[in-house]
Chains A and B, each alone.
Chain A
Amino acid sequence: MKDLKPAILLFLVFTFICGGIYPAVVTGIAQSLFPRQANGSLLVDRNNRETGSSLIGQPFSAPQYFWPRPSATGGFGYNPAASGGSNSGPTNPAYLQTVADRVQRLRDSGLTGEIPADLVQASASGLDPHLTLESARVQIPRVAKARGMSEDEVVRLVAGQTEGRQFGLLGEPRVNVLELNLRLDASKPE
């Protein structure tokens, strides 16, 4: 049993190093070099009130806002306290009915033509803050009409909130829905 002593002591030492010192050092460096990111990339309004995170999507359903992707988080859509996807299988009849209902809702809002998949299929986290450029584009007429803006104005706002591939290479071009809707509100209050 002479290996029992190292088993216990090494475990305690590693707990101290990997569970104490290491996270503390990372926190220290993170908070001094990247305080905004380390604390959740929070957005603040004019009164310095925290209004959400640029990384966490929010639910929008009113016609004057761009709608985000569907969300399957616990309780209600875009609930950051219970992240997760639908975990629906591709042939599940209940799931296909849900997608059909979402398509119908978009049709009722005046959308014609093919609907981009990300606009009717829920994200993995349920908090996806982004839309594809196509999904933003098809919503422009509705938003412009609801706000009494010209489509050109809305197109310009969307373009201003569009992110390209990172370093011109990685990921997909995308639009941050929350930031876009905040821009809309700022440029043309209800």
Chain B
Amino acid sequence: MNFADVVQVLACLGLVILLVKPVGAFMALVYQGERTFLSPFLAPGEKFLYRICGVQPEEEMDWQRYGWAMLLFNLMLFVALFAILLLQHLLPLNPQNQPPFSWQLALNTAISFTTNTNWQNYGGEQTASYFTQMVGLTVHNFVSAATGMAVLIALIRGFARRKTAMLGNFWVDLTRGVLYILLPLALIAAILLVSQGVIQNFSDYKTTPLVQATNYDQPKLNAQGAPLKDAAGKATTETVAVLAVTIPMGPVASQEAIKELGTNGGGFFNANSAHPFENPTPFSHFLEILLILLIPAALTYTFGVMVGNPRQGWALLGVMLLLLVVAFTVLQWAETSGNPLVAKLGVSGGNMEGKEVRFGMAGSSLFEVATTATSCGAVAAMHDSLTPLGGLVPLALILLGEVVFGGVGSGLYTMLAFAIIAVFVSGLMIGRTPEYLGKKIEVREMWMAIVVILTAGVTVLILSGIAMVTPAAVASMANPGAHGLSEVLYAMASMANNNGSAFAGLNGNVNFYNLLGGLAMFLGRYVPALAVLALAGGLAEKKYVPPSLGTLPTDKAPFALWLTLVILIVGALTFFPALALGPIVEQLVMVG
């Protein structure tokens, strides 16, 4: 790594760390219902909104009702988006006359955006109307993120409260997350993105002439649309001249901002954040990385404040940063080392396949670890074309369970489940009572923590196994050999952990991936979320145990290191065999 690379990466991460305290403290005020500097502008509207929607903001919910409200709301999201996608051709703002989605693709996409996954088996510019992108997908980007944050806040209240069954009001937490946190930040970010060249308009796609005309070979088709063959049985082609091209337009910036901020990741265009209209300059690139990391990082501080000891939050942030920096270093090393099979052809430099020149090597690596460490899943470089060890890094970050920052809300609640496991295991080893934040860790807590942690992993392994013996699933692979296995494993990991990035060569728009992937996203989102709420309900009813000599301090470096090890060991035990057959074999093949 050269000097400039180090400086830009440190500058970006440094800015994230500087923002953790102010943003985290602000979010704590918001969720505790206290006055913030935005209250004079937003509080009247908020009250009005509760009145017309029939919400009693003072009414508290126990964990069952909180979970029920969350599921009902998510069901609404799913039904509405499913309908929009199927009826796209009848709805307004469709200047390109895009046809409706197939029901399988609509099902997959509706689950995907409802669960904050944003896996995409379609290319935006060729499939989705402006109405779909704006009224369908953008809305889901906001509220699915706010849903994850609400569940986390309920868990934090479980730790902070004593001898009560009540966890807060889901409707209030959801509304405040959108109004006070996501909307203001997204608005600022969207304007900054436009200043860099991200487009924001409702024009028709533009047709512009090429400076130098080009041409391509197109297969000749007969009247039925089947390829015509010549006498030797080879498919025939005709040369088509291209004098002008079609440049897509649309309201991109408003979606781009919340796509990163809510760790959603579904691109307006097929190329996602690599597309120059989504991410035109190095500044927009680093701004997007900042947006991806901001809320998951700051929530650790919110957590610390709400449980009464900010150091508890810093300890978790330390674990996340450590894993992020290690992941970045490996990826950056693998990619700058390049592909020896390409170097043999007389080519110099790192691996540039699937990367953009303007972001550079370090910028690309940082974006890819940020987007997979969190459950964002936007991409600015193509993961399928990373070197084998390089591709292992995003895959591993996803398989660790989306705890290295993770999705907004969901990352931290999964991390807290790992903290419970870590406390319990260390308690067994050193003979101390397992307690976390003054709450005794007992059978119910362990069960729920295990469900939170293992649901995605079990789903990934079972579904990848099924894919390997299903011819239709294998036929979707774009690359042969070990790399093909990596593509399938990545797809299942990405969907079950609600990330949404892809080894994108895999053709996901077939029934197998649309339907089983939909199932993976559904299980990966709601099983852990309900387990977290059950955990929160149980914790809230417990009494507070003041720290004693027998208590393991969980706000210090030794615990942070221990927690890191627990995360790595659980991940390695679950996935090492599959990783050995995919990226690790391919690396050995590549270096010969």
Contacts of A65 in B (CB 8 A): 211-212
CA distance A13 to B281 in the complex (A): 35
Can you list, as one digit per residue, whether each of B197-227 has a CB less than 8 Å from chain A (1) or not (0)? 1111111011011111011101000000000
| Inter-chain contact B183/A83, CB cutoff 8 Å | no
Closest Cβ of chain B to A83, distance in Å, is: 4
A-B contact count (CB 8 A): 382
| Inter-chain contact A85/B382, CB cutoff 8 Å | yes
Within 8 A of A (CB), among B405-426: none
Contacts of A93 in B (CB 8 A): 480
Closest Cβ of chain A to B58, distance in Å, is: 14
| Inter-chain contact B11/A131, CB cutoff 8 Å | no
Can you list, as one digit per residue, whether each of A101-126 has a CB less than 8 Å from chain B (1) or not (0)? 00100000000001111101111111
Closest Cβ of chain B to A186, distance in Å, is: 11
A144 close to chain B: CB less than 8 A: no
Contacts of A87 in B (CB 8 A): 354, 382, 384-385, 478-479, 503-505
CA distance A37 to B52 in the complex (A): 39
Closest Cβ of chain A to B590, distance in Å, is: 5
| Inter-chain contact B212/A59, CB cutoff 8 Å | yes
| Inter-chain contact B480/A128, CB cutoff 8 Å | no
B97 close to chain A: CB less than 8 A: no
| Inter-chain contact A85/B211, CB cutoff 8 Å | no
CA distance A166 to B134 in the complex (A): 31
| Inter-chain contact B353/A121, CB cutoff 8 Å | yes
Contacts of B271 in A (CB 8 A): 83-85, 124-127
Closest Cβ of chain B to A23, distance in Å, is: 4
A10 close to chain B: CB less than 8 A: yes
Contacts of A39 in B (CB 8 A): 199, 201, 203, 249
Instruction: Name the contact of B245 in the complex, choosing from A78, A103, A128, A165 (C-beta under 8 A).
Output: A78
Contacts of A172 in B (CB 8 A): 282, 357-361, 363
Instruction: Name the contact of A85 in the complex, choosing from B77, B203, B214, B385 (C-beta under 8 A).
Output: B385
Contacts of B346 in A (CB 8 A): 103, 114-115
CA distance A79 to B380 in the complex (A): 18
Contacts of B11 in A (CB 8 A): 169
CA distance A29 to B254 in the complex (A): 11
Contacts of A48 in B (CB 8 A): none
B553 close to chain A: CB less than 8 A: no
Contacts of B248 in A (CB 8 A): 80-81
B347 close to chain A: CB less than 8 A: yes
Given contacts A5-B53, A124-B271, contact A10 B483 (CB under 8 A): no
Closest Cβ of chain A to B188, distance in Å, is: 10
Contacts of B80 in A (CB 8 A): 11, 15
Question: Which of B138, B350, B358 has the largest count of A CB atoms less than 10 A from its CB?
Answer: B358
| Inter-chain contact B253/A125, CB cutoff 8 Å | no
B387 close to chain A: CB less than 8 A: yes
Closest Cβ of chain B to A152, distance in Å, is: 24
B274 close to chain A: CB less than 8 A: yes
Contacts of A59 in B (CB 8 A): 210, 212, 214
Closest Cβ of chain B to A98, distance in Å, is: 10
Contacts of B353 in A (CB 8 A): 85-86, 88, 90, 95, 121-122
Question: Which of B174, B269, B342, B504 has the largest count of A CB atoms less than 10 A from its CB?
Answer: B342
Contacts of A132 in B (CB 8 A): 357
Nearest-CB residue, chain B, relative to A80: B247
Within 8 A of B (CB), among A43-93: 49-53, 55-56, 58-62, 65, 69, 74-93
Contacts of A167 in B (CB 8 A): 283
CA distance A180 to B419 in the complex (A): 55
| Inter-chain contact A37/B351, CB cutoff 8 Å | no
Given contacts A60-B212, A87-B505, A127-B276, contact A169 B351 (CB under 8 A): no
| Inter-chain contact B199/A38, CB cutoff 8 Å | yes
Nearest-CB residue, chain B, relative to A38: B200
| Inter-chain contact B214/A84, CB cutoff 8 Å | no
A182 close to chain B: CB less than 8 A: yes
Instruction: Name the contact of B246 in the complex, choosing from A60, A81, A120 (C-beta under 8 A).
Output: A81
Question: Which of A25, A58, A65, A89 has the largest count of B CB atoms less than 10 A from its CB?
Answer: A89
B73 close to chain A: CB less than 8 A: yes
Given contacts A29-B191, A60-B211, A91-B481, contact A55 B277 (CB under 8 A): yes
CA distance A31 to B258 in the complex (A): 19
| Inter-chain contact A83/B187, CB cutoff 8 Å | no
B89 close to chain A: CB less than 8 A: no
| Inter-chain contact B191/A33, CB cutoff 8 Å | yes
| Inter-chain contact B274/A123, CB cutoff 8 Å | yes
CA distance A62 to B69 in the complex (A): 62
Given contacts A53-B247, A127-B275, A171-B359, contact A26 B206 (CB under 8 A): no
Additional A-B contact list (7), CB under 8 Å, known A9-B53, A34-B195: A18-B178, A25-B187, A37-B199, A52-B210, A59-B214, A116-B349, A130-B356
Q: Please list the residues of chain B having a beta carbon within 8 angstroms of any beta carbon in chain A.
A: 4, 7-8, 11, 49, 52-55, 65, 68-69, 72-73, 75-77, 80, 123, 125-126, 134-136, 138-139, 141-143, 171, 174-175, 178, 183, 186-187, 190-191, 194-203, 205-206, 208-212, 214-216, 218, 242, 245-249, 251, 253-255, 257-258, 269-271, 274-277, 280-283, 285-286, 338-339, 341-342, 345-361, 363, 379-382, 384-388, 478-483, 486, 503-505, 586, 589-590
Q: Please list the residues of chain A having a beta carbon within 8 angstroms of any beta carbon in chain B.
A: 3-11, 13-15, 17-20, 22-23, 25-27, 29-31, 33-34, 37-42, 49-53, 55-56, 58-62, 65, 69, 74-93, 95-96, 99-100, 103, 114-118, 120-132, 165-167, 169-172, 174, 178, 181-182, 185
Q: Which 10 A-B pairs have the closest CB atoms?
A: A171-B282, A87-B505, A124-B274, A89-B483, A172-B360, A170-B282, A89-B479, A83-B271, A117-B349, A76-B216
